[in-house]
Amino acid sequence: MKLPLGYRYAATYAGIRKDQRDDLGLILSEPPASAAAMFTRNRVQAAPVRLARTHLRGSGGVARAILVNAGNANCATRTEDRVALACCRALARALKFPAEQVLPASTGVIGVELDHRLIVRALPRLIEGLSPDRFQAVSHAMLTTDRGPKVAFGEVPLRRGAIHIAGMTKGAGMIHPQMATTLAFVLTDAVLSPARLRRSLAAAVERSYHRLSVDGDTSTNDTVLLLANGASGVRPAAQECLVFDEVLAWVMEDLAEKIARDGEGARKLITIRVLGARDDSQAACIARAIANSPLVKTAIAGSDPNWGRILSAAGNSGVVLDPSRVDIYVQGMLVCRAGVAARFAEHELKHLLDARECAIRFVIRGRGQGHARFWSCDLTEQYIRINASYRT
């Protein structure tokens, strides 16, 4: 898949994390790009989140660079604001554009001072290393407990030419993916205004990152950035914008699914579909309750077709629900019909649940048209091992 035109990438080891893996990444757009962003709704927000928001406002939604570090969230420290600002300024000075066209993002431990000199000193070799084909290197540098990089690509063939989309993300969250910080950077070479881009991003996030075992327990650093630098020269016509939005959402769904699949300690991807709710938002609410239930997640980990936990979790979603109208399918097998146990081959279903992917379908009989798809993962002992000693 072709990368979007007009972007260059670099990554290096700046010494922020202990193990010697790249921990600093740079994405540079040659033409100034339209930019849209969505940030954590946590009341405790890291300095890079606050600064990126300020920069976007100041620049009127124009950005040239994304500067990302792993290993330290630059959050809840005495110097966090100064650190974020100093890094953006140093980069802007070196590249000769306004500091507010740099969007910073950080992920890692909270509450530990980040030495900005580590980053400032690494900038020259970062800039030196900029190349159009180091996309993968940045996608590696932003990782923390992830088992591997997560990227997705799309292409939008339009009448006047093709637009390319490329996304990278990190996050190995499990119960609360966002608390382990989710970052996502999505790049396109389409010609699109910042305002148009914001609408596209909001719609795509609704279908992807907001369907990822999210329950509002977002991290202090979550950041999703979308840049459109126009380097393809292709401006989607009004009626073509829907196609662009569809491919963008597809790329971001792909990224979100990859986060769930790589959940900390997870062995299984769980995909939950809810059908027949009053509207999509109620469907998402039910799906989220199932996705966040540790009892459902542990049952799936143990290949235990304990559908009663699915029904009970749904009953707690806050959505008005008549259990006698609910059918539940697990791995395509009907386990609950009209709110009570269906006759199913339990032994066979346990065997099917040993697969790496688990599909739950929750169907409300009636005339409701609301539906939602949601990604989650199983909850294993490995999750505990990872998180009981994250800092030490």
What is the three-class DSSP state of 149? coil
193 contributes a contact to a copy of itself by CB under 8 A: no
Q: Which of 175, 197, 201, 255 binds a copy of itself (CB under 8 A)?
A: 175
Q: Is 270 in the site for a copy of itself (CB under 8 A)?
A: no
Residue type, 362: F
Binder among 1, 237, 341, 345 for a copy of itself (CB under 8 A): 341
User: How far apart are CB 51 and a copy of itself at their closest, in Å?
Assistant: 16
For residue 253, which of 210, 198, 297 has the smallest C-alpha distance? 210
Q: Which is nearer to a copy of itself, 9 or 375 (CB)?
A: 375
Question: What CA–CA distance (Å, rounded) separates 105 from 272?
Answer: 30
Regarding 313 and contact with a copy of itself (CB under 8 A), the answer is yes
Our CB check for a copy of itself shows the closer of 69 and 77 to be 77
| Beta bridge mates, 37 | 225
Q: Which of the stretches 119-127, 182-190, 199-207, 319-327 binds a copy of itself when contact is defined by CB under 8 A?
A: 319-327
Smallest CA-to-CA distance from 210 within 369, 375, 53, 320 is with 375
Residue 322 DSSP one-character state? -
Q: Tell me which of 56, 62, 73, 360 binds a copy of itself, using CB under 8 A.
A: 73
| Residue 50 interacts with a copy of itself (CB under 8 A): yes or no | no
DSSP 163-177: EEEEEEEE---SSSG
Q: Are 132 and 217 in contact (CB under 8 A)?
A: no
| Contact call for residues 375 and 260 (beta carbons, < 8 A) | yes
Q: Is 355 in the site for a copy of itself (CB under 8 A)?
A: no
Residue selected from 293, 360, 372, 377 as contacting a copy of itself according to rule CB under 8 A = 293
Give yes or no for residue 304 binding a copy of itself (CB under 8 A).
yes
Q: Which of 101, 144, 182, 380 binds a copy of itself (CB under 8 A)?
A: 380
Minimum distance of a copy of itself from residue 156's CB (angstroms): 36
* Helix/strand/coil percentages in the chain, nearest 5: 35, 30, 35
State yes or no: residue 369 binds a copy of itself (CB under 8 A): no
Tokens of 49: 């989140």
CA-to-CA dists, residue 350 to 304, 345, 353, angstroms: 6, 9, 5
Q: Is 107 a catalytic residue?
A: no
Which of 40, 181, 218, 271 is an active site residue?
A: 181
53 binds a copy of itself (CB under 8 A): no
Q: How remote is the C-alpha of 143 from its chain's centroid?
A: 12
How far is the C-alpha of 370 from the C-alpha of 265, rounded, in Å? 32
Shortest Cβ distance from residue 7 to a copy of itself (Å)? 32
Residue 368 interacting with a copy of itself (CB under 8 A): no
- DSSP string covering 1-16: -PPPTTEEEEEE--S-
The contact set with a copy of itself (CB under 8 A) reads 42-45, 73, 75-78, 109-113, 174-176, 179-180, 216-220, 289, 293-295, 298-299, 301-302, 304, 306-309, 311-321, 323, 336, 339-341, 350, 379-381, 383-385, 387-392
Which residues participate in catalysis according to the annotation?
Answer: 181
